[in-house]
Chains A and B, each alone.
Chain A
Amino acid sequence: MKKKIYSAVIVLSLAVPALAAATDENKAEVNGTVELGVRGVGTNGDKARFQEFRDAREGFIGGMQVDALKGAYHLELDALNPGADDQSFQLKGGEYGNFKYKFNYNEMTHNYGFDAITPYTGIGTQTLVRVATPTDTSTWTKFDYAVDHKSYGGELELSLHSPFYVTFGAEKREQTGLRPYSALTYRNGGTRNYVELPEPISNSTDNLNMKAGYLGESITASVSGTLSSFKNDNKYFQGNFETFTNTASDNNVVLAPDNDYYRIAGDLSWRDLPLGSTLATGLSHANLNNSFSATDVYGANTATILAATPFSGALNRTTFDGDIDYTNASIVLSSHPLDKLDTKIYYNYLERNNKSSFISYGAASALTNNAKELLSYEKNTAGIDLGYRLPNKNKLEAGYEYLKIDRSTALPAYTAAGNFYRYANPESTTDDSVYVGLKNSALDWLTAKIRYKRLERNSDLNIDGVVAPTIYTTRFDATDKTMDEWKLSFDFYPVDSLDLGVNYTYAHNDYDWNNSSRNDDKRQNVYFDATWRAAKAFSLNGFVGFEKTDIDVNHRTTLALTPDRAEKTHDDFWTYGLAANLEATDKLTLNLSWQYEKSDGAVDFTQLAATTYTNVTESDDYTKKRLEAKAIYAIDPKLKMTLGYLYEKLDYSDQGYLNYTNLVAGGGPNGDYLSGLYANPNYEANIGYVMVAYGF
């Protein structure tokens, strides 16, 4: 209620002078709309899923939009959903050529799940206390997984009718609430089990931006700087997670550390060069850093944790200094050397240099040092794009791109046996990609495009049959592959009142060297669109989309080179929608829309060894339906009333959530403690509203 009052004050504070101005015809020109209404909501099922990013509760609703102009001065104000958890306000304006400004305040709620339960009390604090009988779910604490986001800030640009300008911006982002988390309950040996927990969220990010630039007839240049600081109020939270069965040795959940980021950049663009060229170049340097100690993340448990397994006093340092540099340099030359030829040549250098602290508490070859995981990389990209206009409104395009990524870690401490990750030695991938396309618009009623792209990736990461398979990861995204991609599109305009479109994409990745892991994937998307302006007062829009993804993966359950099973993962998705708009009378407009989505996943197994497997038939399957109807009646030119109705329904099923219980295996030492998160996302919702809008 307080929020609605605050918001009403804001809206009125802005509306009153705007309305005052609007009533004086000799003053500046002020236009706008004020809306006020009431909404009723009925929901069955998962309200959190229905309201994941929106506040769709019943009650008063409203909004306001104001535009004001006087000479070169302008001002725009928007207030959306004032008083709601997803309210936003924006005020922007200025004088052309002189200055402009922008202020905004924005709220958003992210609802993950309502009515979750946990065998802990102290929800929202850094200390969770286990209930006396965790196997009795009736004693668990109920809570909502939800995080409120707020951001507010402003920006001012001054140019003072000169070719120079400076921009200052400041913004603060805040998050508070509870986010899903899971913690191992039984880590130091034995069966691994987990408990779902509410992570206490309370953090903020402060951003400052400054830019100074020059806007000339031919040259545009700027220097800019960014400062960003992330502060987390909760570096950890703790509880007796492991005392379900044994003595606690490490009961801290370590959360995101604070960090500071800065970036400085310079950019130059030079137009009107010979051959119709424009040259653009940019250079930037950024640094991301932080510093924290064991005490920061373990709190009062620090001494106990450092003395126990696995540290046993062997931690090489109790502070961590994070330090990552980003360097980026790019240059692009676009030209128009011939009447019908466009060219673009580009080069980009990007480096991520991770200079963070080396942490170890055991032998270098064991899993007790971070040297192999601190990723650094260099990326070199170079390419050329060509576009040539052929006779009869044909346009031919072609291009080539070279991309080389060199990945490495700080210390060359790699030994094959027992290592899970593979960044001890510099490893690289090289992509060569070419494309060619043709666009034809010779006919007034048809535009057709076809485009083919091929990518060949060569990598020294390949392990299948090359290196003994003691390395347990196979990054499919960084191994040898070839990709073929076809894109087709047709836009038809058979008559002025009808637009039709078809878009089709086929992409095939063949991971040449992956005996195990992903070895092939195919993606096909096709979309049909139609707009029919059937009459002056009636139009129809419709679309149909179909997406099909098939992924082939070979797996092994031993370290043998030969896989023991092949999996084919199918992700099918299709959707259609229809919207109609009818201006029934001079005063009455009707909108009606319907949207349907169906997601269908499955995994088919092919037995390659003795073990047999059962196909998965329910994998993130869902149908979602949405109906929206709206009638807008103009009571008079300034006053409109809207009567609206929204229906939504989600039906979801997945093998992983069948026969869901909060206590798996009865709880206890070998059980899991689940909170109910995502267990029943189904919902059916009806919303009705009436809104009055006054325009001025």
Chain B
Amino acid sequence: MRNRLLPKLVVSTWSLAMLTMGGGLLGQFLAPDLVQAAELGAACVSCHEKPVASFKASFHAKIWQGKNDCQSCHAPTDKHENDPSKQNVISFNKGGGHTADELSQKCLGCHKKAAHLALWDMGAHKKNDVTCVACHDIHSPRSTVKQPTVCFNCHKDVRSDANKMSHHPIIEGKVKCSDCHNTHGTQTKHMIKADTVNLLCYKCHAEKRGPWIWEHPPVSENCVICHSPHGSRHENLMVEKVVNLCQNCHDDTQHHTTVNDGASTSHYTRTRACLECHHSIHGSANFRRSLTR
């Protein structure tokens, strides 16, 4: 009953709330005291018509009307106006002559007290000279990063994995890079948002948490021993074809090591192979010792 009613209740409640509150919430925006936008980029527009136009439509320009102008980020432009070279202004484009750290400091001047940037100095992005504007387009209406496209620009191996036959729904937009990674810096490896890889995976895969009566130790230790989290050419994000992967560790005289050669017709190696019987490979709550069921 819960499963049938709850979604309807939630959707209905949401709709009702939005009908009543949505208008109210927006209502605070309807009061007629909007300050007209200042004439932004007056000194720059004659040469940089498009960037000024995009900046005027940007979140940055609108949210702090009158407080930010082109010079807020690009530094005073007096010298640049007389000698229009990139070196006479802070340019975020290629060949601007400023280090990544100098460019990011322009952003951190306002944003360094943000909680999510507390560990920027510790992160791999800073270490590898990734600037804020490498990901954030502050001239766009929203400065939200277009994931995963922006991430794929540098992480080409991830782009490749995410497009493979078996993949997390990253390209479908159902899992974002930032769901698992804090790109602004963490104390963890690969900037993951949890103390361990497993604890990260358990956030969505809570049914894999256990605790189990019977554990499969590599599973308990690290999911990525067996899984390639972004994608794989093998089913279920496995790092290798299941039968081969299992036999890397399980080597004995029993059926576990039935040879999967080109002539094999054994059901131990066909279809889903080992997983056809050892389905509870992540752990078992059966009092009987079993990773079968």
Binding site for A on B (CB under 8 A): 3, 6-8, 10-12, 14-15, 18-19, 22-23, 25-32, 34-35, 59, 62-63, 65, 94-95, 112-115, 118-119, 121-122, 127, 129, 141-142, 156-157, 159-160, 163-165, 169, 172-174, 187, 195-196, 199, 202-204, 206-218, 220-221, 225, 233-235, 240-241, 243-244, 247-257, 259-264, 267, 269-273, 275-277, 279-280, 284-289, 292-293
Contact = CB atoms under 8 A, between A and B. Distances in A.
Contacts of B244: 551, 553, 567, 569, 603
A222 B234 CA distance: 41
A282 interface: yes
Interface string A1-20: 00000110110011011101
19 contacts: A18-B26, A27-B32, A80-B173, A182-B275, A267-B118, A269-B118, A350-B195, A374-B215, A472-B250, A493-B94, A555-B251, A556-B257, A558-B253, A573-B233, A603-B244, A614-B261, A614-B262, A652-B165, A657-B271
B209 A334 contact: no
A605 B213 CA distance: 38
Considering the complex of A and B, which 4 residue pairs feature the smallest CB-CB distances, nearest first? A322-B211, A28-B29, A614-B262, A472-B252
Contacts of B286: 252, 254, 297
Nearest to B19: A13
B31 A503 contact: no
Contacts of B14: 10, 89, 105, 152
Contacts of A664: 267, 270
Contact of A17 (B23, B196, B252, B256): B23
B172 A53 contact: yes
A446 to B, nearest CB: 11
B18 A10 contact: yes
A617 to B, nearest CB: 6
A30 B263 contact: no
Nearest to B35: A71
B265 to A, nearest CB: 9
A444 B160 contact: no
B29 A10 contact: no
Nearest to B279: A182
Interface in A281-322: 282, 284, 286, 288-290, 292, 294, 297, 310-311, 315, 318, 320, 322
Contacts of B225: 477
Given A53-B174, A377-B221, 20 more contacts: A105-B10, A182-B279, A203-B206, A215-B113, A220-B115, A342-B127, A361-B287, A373-B214, A517-B248, A545-B156, A559-B253, A569-B244, A571-B240, A601-B233, A614-B263, A616-B262, A620-B233, A655-B262, A656-B270, A664-B270
A614 B114 CA distance: 61
A161 interface: no
A519 B289 CA distance: 30
Contacts of A352: 196, 220
Contacts of A557: 253, 257, 259
B32 A259 contact: no
A33 to B, nearest CB: 10
Interface stretch (A125-133, A323-331, A637-645): A323-331
Contact of A213 (B115, B210, B215, B217): B115
A651 to B, nearest CB: 11
Interface of B is mostly: loop
Contacts of A553: 244, 247-248
Contacts of B173: 80
Contacts of B287: 294, 297, 311, 315, 318, 320, 359, 361
A344 B122 contact: yes
Contacts of A194: 267, 276-277
B214 A192 contact: no
A503 B156 contact: yes
Nearest to A282: B187
Given A516-B251, A615-B262, A375 B156 contact: no
Contacts of B220: 352, 354, 375
B22 to A, nearest CB: 5
B163 A69 contact: no
Nearest to B222: A477
A13 B18 contact: yes
Interface stretch (A35-43, A671-679, A684-692): A671-679
A545 B160 contact: yes
Contacts of B11: 6-7, 10, 105
Interface string A629-662: 0000000000000000000001010011100100
B3 A176 contact: yes
A73 B28 contact: yes
Contacts of A656: 243, 269-273
A21 interface: yes
Contacts of B240: 551, 569, 571
Given A13-B15, A616-B260, A368 B289 contact: yes
Interface string A446-464: 0000000000000000000
Contacts of B7: 150, 174
A656 B46 CA distance: 67
Contact of A620 (B216, B241, B252): B241
B28 A70 contact: yes
A391 to B, nearest CB: 14
Contacts of A13: 15, 18-19, 22
